Amino acid sequence: MKKIVSIATSLLLVLVIALCAFLFIGKMNGGKTVLLGNEIMVVLSGSMSPTFNTGSIVGVGPVSYEQIKQGDIITFKDPEGRTITHRVLEITENGLVTKGDANDAKDTALVTKDRVIGEVQFSVPLVGYLIEFVKSKVGMVVFLGVPGLYLIVSQIWKLLRMIKEKEAAAN
């Protein structure tokens, strides 16, 4: 049983370190986290439900404006500078007409070439909640502080046990 707990704890620790490293590298890249050539973004609204829901992550890969087709899901900046991920309904001379799958109305502004970030390549449900939590102050404490404290306490415990064993062997 001790062996199973030890292995499980080690795996959890490696997972936590990997997640923190992944997010730290994203912070160093100006807030852009890239995985396999795709920028990872957290879905913050339900406008694309049921395709992907709030709390999902999407991988947004580069795409040229000319390659975008009707039905593609793209990520772009709106005129106010917010990052939006919606489906292309129509391609016009002046830009792309987009709409969130769950929205009743089309987006008011056309998406022009200079505002396209990329095309959604994949999505993973619920992982965004974890990423947003880890980015928070409480999340940092939980994901960095708790494993760190565990490592310190477990090493002190092992050291004390070794000292006791040496003392018992000496007597």
User: 136 catalytic, yes or no?
Assistant: no
- From the list 10, 49, 56, 107, the catalytic residue is 107
Look up 47 and say whether it is catalytic. Answer: yes
Helix axes 127-135, 2-28, angle to 10 degrees: 70
Q: Which of 10, 49, 64, 86 is catalytic?
A: 86
Whether the bond between 50 and the residue before it is cis, its omega within 30 degrees of 0, is yes
Q: Active site residue: 6, 10, 47, 114, which one?
A: 47
94: CB partners within 8 A, 6+ apart? 110, 112
Annotated catalytic residue 107: yes
- Return the closest-CA partner of residue 33 out of 15, 44, 19, 17: 19
CA pair distance 88, 99, nearest whole angstrom: 7
User: Which residues are part of the catalytic machinery?
Assistant: 47, 86, 107
